[in-house]
Each structure stands twice: as structure tokens, then as C-alpha cells.
């Protein structure tokens, strides 16, 4: 899933000059291999999401994929994961534990494993993306006893310190569980796009009921599909 400079610039909807500026500043995750800069797609998506950058609608192919099957719809994943209010917790660990408890997993062993992996991911850097929102997730999918990809949305009982990029406490968290790397990256990019959509973001920040949030997610799905179709004509 490595990208070169041109591909990374296209994914981030920016110029190669801006990309080299970020490289020089040391603010963008990349590696130098044989004199060329390479970018890992998962790291790049996390970085872009944390900084509120819009991603290209062509980041992922629309066709079926050999390993993951058909890419999941954002709205379907959100409906599968559920929307929960007044989620308990006084710190990052207790909140993540409360979230994992609510995720659509079958075995307790899977919950314990997922919690450990999510905590390890947070140790690499906070998944708080600003405005009180965080997207705790595993960087690379792990095998869990779950039927379908899901995004669980949790509204906390009270905000907590999360080491977010803007320094503000977190009150809203989206957590992803997927079957494979392509579906993981696809849903992460869809969530990133949704958080740029004013209507979806408003529904989330207002803590709207689950049907409204899922409906807004379905609208985002449709808008992104139409945008993709228009760019391929």
C-alpha cells in the first residue's frame, strides 16, 4: 500500500510542492527508500483525518476486491456498529474499554484483544482529530469474530482528555472494526469525508438520534458515489 509523491499528492488533493514542504517540515509520515519518498496509505489517511484534510473520492476503486469482497457502505457500517449515548469513562483506557464492550463482537477474548491493540495504537499518537472527536481504531485489521465491518459511534457521558491535535477534550468517538486492510482504509476515508460534510457533522455534534445520523451517512455515501461517477466519465 505504499504511495509515491505524485500518488500521495493526488490522495490528499494537494500539490507535490506542498507535499515536499510537509516533508521538509517533518510533519507528514513518510520514508525515504533508495532516494525516493514513500508513503503508507493507512498512515497518510490517519494523518489527513487528524488535520481535517479532504481526501480524493478516487482513493479507492469502486469495483469488487478479491480479498475483501465488495467494499462496505459507510452508512451500513455505522448502522451495524450502533450509536450509543452517555458512555462512561474518566480516562482514555476506561472509555476505550466501555466502547469495546458495546461493539458487535461475539467473544470476550476478541474484546480483550481489540482493547489491547487499540491502546497500543493510542500509544503511537492520539486518534483525537479535533472539535471533540476521536477515531480510535487499529492501524491494521486483526481477525475478530464479527459478521460485518462496523463503525461504533459513542457519545461520552462527559468529555475526557485524549491528547487531541487541538488540545480539546474528546466527547465523541468513532471506532472501526473491519475484515481487511482495503475495507479498513475505505471506511476510514469515508468517515473522514463525512466529517467534512456540514450536515453529517452537525447531526453528530448535536448528538442526533441514530436514524438521523445513519440517514446522513447514507446521503454522504450517495454523494461520494455520484462524485466518483462524474470523475470517471
pLDDT tens, residue by residue, 7-57: 888 888 889 999 999 998 888 988 888 888 988 777 777 777 767 676 665
The domain defined by 2-50 folds into: Multidrug-efflux Transporter Regulator; Chain: A; Domain 2 (1.10.1660)
Catalytic center residues:
137
pLDDT score at 133: 94
Q: Which of 8-12, 166-170, 198-202 comes out lowest in average pLDDT?
A: 8-12
pLDDT score at 121: 84
Contacts made by residues 1-8, CB under 8 angstroms, sequence distance 24+: 1/40, 1/41, 1/42, 1/181, 1/185, 2/38, 2/39, 2/40, 2/41, 3/38, 3/39, 3/40, 3/41, 3/44, 4/36, 4/37, 4/38, 4/39, 5/36, 5/37, 5/39, 7/39, 8/39, 8/44
Instruction: Output the average pLDDT for the chain.
Output: 84
pLDDT tens, residue by residue, 98-157: 999 999 887 776 788 889 888 988 887 888 888 899 998 876 666 565 667 899 999 999
Mean pLDDT of 149-170: 93
List the chain domain ranges: 2-50, 74-232
**CATH code matching the domain that covers 74-232, chosen among 3.40.50.970, 3.40.930.10, 3.40.50.300, 3.40.50.1970:** 3.40.930.10
* Predicted confidence (pLDDT) at residue 68 exceeds the cutoff of 60: no
pLDDT tens, residue by residue, 176-185: 888 777 788 8
pLDDT score at 224: 86
- Give buried/exposed letters for 35-64 (b at 16+ CB in 10 A, else e): eebebbbbbbbbbbbbeebebbbebbeeee
pLDDT score at 17: 92
pLDDT tens, residue by residue, 70-95: 788 999 999 999 999 999 999 999 99
Mean pLDDT of 189-199: 90
The pTM score is 0.76
pLDDT tens, residue by residue, 53-66: 766 655 544 433 33
Amino acid at each position: 500500500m505504499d504511495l509515491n509523491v505524485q500518488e500521495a499528492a493526488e490522495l490528499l488533493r494537494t500539490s507535490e510542492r506542498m507535499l515536499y514542504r510537509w516533508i521538509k517540515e517533518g510533519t507528514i509520515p513518510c520514508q525515504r527508500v533508495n532516494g525516493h519518498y514513500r508513503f503508507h496509505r493507512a498512515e497518510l489517511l490517519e494523518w489527513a483525518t487528524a488535520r481535517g484534510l479532504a481526501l480524493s473520492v478516487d482513493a479507492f476503486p469502486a469495483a469488487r476486491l478479491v480479498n475483501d469482497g465488495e467494499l462496505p457502505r459507510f452508512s451500513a457500517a455505522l448502522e451495524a456498529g450502533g450509536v450509543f449515548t452517555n458512555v462512561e469513562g474518566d480516562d482514555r483506557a476506561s472509555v476505550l474499554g466501555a466502547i469495546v464492550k458495546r461493539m458487535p463482537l461475539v467473544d470476550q477474548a476478541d474484546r480483550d484483544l481489540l482493547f489491547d491493540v487499540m491502546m497500543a495504537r493510542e500509544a503511537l499518537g492520539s486518534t483525537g482529530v479535533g472539535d471533540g472527536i476521536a477515531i480510535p481504531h487499529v492501524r491494521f485489521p486483526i481477525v475478530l469474530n464479527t459478521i460485518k465491518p462496523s463503525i461504533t459511534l459513542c457519545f461520552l457521558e462527559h468529555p475526557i482528555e485524549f491528547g487531541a491535535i487541538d488540545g480539546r477534550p474528546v466527547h465523541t468517538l468513532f471506532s472501526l472494526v473491519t475484515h481487511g486492510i482495503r475495507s479498513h482504509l475505505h471506511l476510514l476515508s469515508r468517515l473522514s469525508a463525512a466529517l467534512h460534510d456540514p450536515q453529517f457533522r452537525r447531526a453528530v455534534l448535536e448528538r442526533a438520534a441514530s436514524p438521523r445520523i445513519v440517514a446522513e451517512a447514507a446521503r454522504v455515501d450517495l454523494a461520494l458515489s455520484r462524485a466518483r461517477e462524474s470523475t470517471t466519465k
